[in-house]
Amino acid sequence: MTNNIIPFNKPYSTGNELSYISEVLSNNDSTGEGFYTNYCHQWFENEIGVGQALLTHSCTAALEMAAILMNIEPGDEVIMPSYTFVSSANAFVLRGGIPVFVDIRPDTLNIDERLIEDAITPRTRAIVAVHYAGVACEMDTIIDIAKRHSLTVVEDAAQGIMSTYKGRPLGSIGDFGCFSFHKTKNITSGEGGCLLVNNPNFQKRAEIIREKGTDRSQFLRGEVDKYTWCDLGSSYLPSEITAAMLWAQLEEAENITLKRLTLWDSYHKAFVNSKKIKVPSIPESCKHNAHIYYLLLENLQIRSEFIIKMKEKGIQCVFHYVPLHKSPAGMRYGKVYDELRVTDSIADRLIRLPLWPDISDVQNKYIIKTASEILKI
C-alpha cells in the first residue's frame, strides 16, 4: 500500500464531462450563457429553491458580487468567522469593508451565533455565515439577529451543496448564497461558483453586475435592442465549457453525496468513541454532505507528527485554515471582536483525512488502521 500514495483529494468524474464539453466545442459556442448554463441555473432554482441562480467563475466571484450588490462602502463592517478561507473577507475588503472576526463554536466550528449581537456596531452591514464542512450555522438565530438590526445575511456555502438546515438547502436561507465548484469540492467543475439571490430586490441588478455592468443578458433575451454600460460590474461569467462539466456533476449530485457519506460514516464509526481525539459534531437540525472528515488532536506538535507519519505510510493528510486574524492582511484590514480562543485552538489541532468518492474499501480500511495505530487508539 505504501507504494501507492492515497491523495487527500481526487476530483470525481461521472463519465459525461468530456462528451458534454465536446458538444459545446462542436457547437462553437463556449463563451457562456448557453444551454448548459441554463440547465445549471434551472437545477439550482428548482433543487435549492431560490428565485435566481447565476453561475460565476468562482465562489470568490459570487462573494464579490454580493458585496457590490450590498453597496459596501469604506468603513462598513461585516461580521464573520476568522476560521474561513480568505475570499470570505477579501470580497468585502475590496470594497473598503472591514471584516469583524468573531469566534467559532467548539462543536460545529461555525461562527458562534451567541457572540454576533455584541459585535454589532452602527457601522455593521452584514453577517457572513460560513457553513464549515457542509454543516449549517445556527441560521434561525442569525436571521433573527439580522432582521432586528437590518443586516444582510450572506451564506458562504462554498462547502455546503446538498446540505440542509431544518430541511432547507444551504444557500437558500440568507439574502445571498455562494457556492464553490473548485476541484476540492464535492461537486466540481475544476473552477467555478454560483451566486444564489434569494432577495428579489437584488435580482435585476445581480444580472447586470455579472455581465460587466451591462444589460447584455436582457439583450440576449430580446428585451432590449442593444446593450450598454449600466452599473458597476466585472467579468464574472464562466465559460460554457465550465457549465458543461458542472452539469455532468449536478446530474449525479445525489449519488456523489451518498458515496461521500458512506466514507464519512466509516471514519466516524471508527473514531467517534475515542477519548484521545475529537471528531465532527452534527446537530440534529442539520443534514450534512460529508465534505470533510476531520480529527481534532491534542496539540500542534502531535498534529505535525501525525501528518509526517501518515505521509510515510503513503497517506496524504492536511490541516486547514490559518485563521485570518493572524494573517498579515487580516491584521491590516480586519479587526477582532473579543478573544478567539476556540479559533486559535482548532487551527492548531485540526487534521483532515482523505475523502473522495472513489476511495476503495481497501484504502478506506488502511487509512483507518494506520491512523488508529499512529494515534494509539
pLDDT category of residue 268 using cuts at 50, 70 and 90: very high
**Shared domain check, 122 and 26:** yes
Q: Write the pLDDT tens digit of every residue in 336-361.
A: 999 999 999 999 999 999 999 999 99
Q: Using an 8 Å Cβ cutoff, are 286 and 136 in contact?
A: yes
Q: Write the pLDDT tens digit of every residue in 240-260.
A: 999 999 999 999 999 999 999
**Shared domain check, 107 and 46:** yes
Q: How far apart are CA 181 and CA 46, in angstroms?
A: 18
Q: Using an 8 Å Cβ cutoff, are 32 and 376 in contact?
A: no
**Shared domain check, 121 and 230:** yes
State percent of the chain over pLDDT 70. 99
**Shared domain check, 283 and 231:** no
Share the mean pLDDT of the chain: 96
Find the angle CA(263)-CA(62)-CA(244) to the nearest 5 degrees. Answer: 65
State yes or no: pLDDT of 123 exceeds 90. yes
**Shared domain check, 236 and 259:** no
- pLDDT at position 6 is 97
Mean pLDDT across the stretch 181-196?
97
**Shared domain check, 267 and 218:** no
**Shared domain check, 226 and 274:** no
**Shared domain check, 342 and 272:** yes
Mean pLDDT across the stretch 56-65?
98
DSSP string covering 312-366: HTTB--B--PPPGGGSHHHHHH-EE-S--HHHHHHHHHEEE----TT--HHHHHH
The count of structural domains within the chain is 2
- pLDDT at position 1 is 52
- Decide if 5 is inside a domain: no
Q: How far apart are CA 94 and CA 70, in angstroms?
A: 13
**Shared domain check, 244 and 130:** yes
Q: How far apart are CA 75 and CA 61, in angstroms?
A: 21
Domain CATH for 224: 3.40.640.10
**Shared domain check, 306 and 245:** no
pTM of the model: 0.95
- pLDDT at position 224 is 86
Q: Write the pLDDT tens digit of every residue in 9-19.
A: 999 999 999 99
- Decide if 132 is inside a domain: yes
Q: How far apart are CA 252 and CA 170, in angstroms?
A: 18
Q: Domain residues for 193?
A: 17-250
- pLDDT at position 219 is 82
Burial status of residue 46 (CB atoms within 10 A of its CB: 0-12, 13-18, 19 or more): exposed
Please name the residue that has the C-alpha cell 439571490: 197
Q: How far apart are CA 359 and CA 368, in angstroms?
A: 12
Burial status of residue 314 (CB atoms within 10 A of its CB: 0-12, 13-18, 19 or more): middle
Q: Which of 26-40, 42-56, 72-86 has the lowest mean pLDDT?
A: 26-40
Q: Using an 8 Å Cβ cutoff, are 52 and 40 in contact?
A: no
Domain CATH for 277: 3.90.1150.10
pLDDT category of residue 3 using cuts at 50, 70 and 90: low
Q: How far apart are CA 187 and CA 11, in angstroms?
A: 9
**Shared domain check, 100 and 216:** yes
- Decide if 78 is inside a domain: yes
Q: How far apart are CA 235 and CA 211, in angstroms?
A: 6
Name the domain boundary from 216, 231, 250.
250
The C-alpha cell that represents 55 in the structure block: 453561475
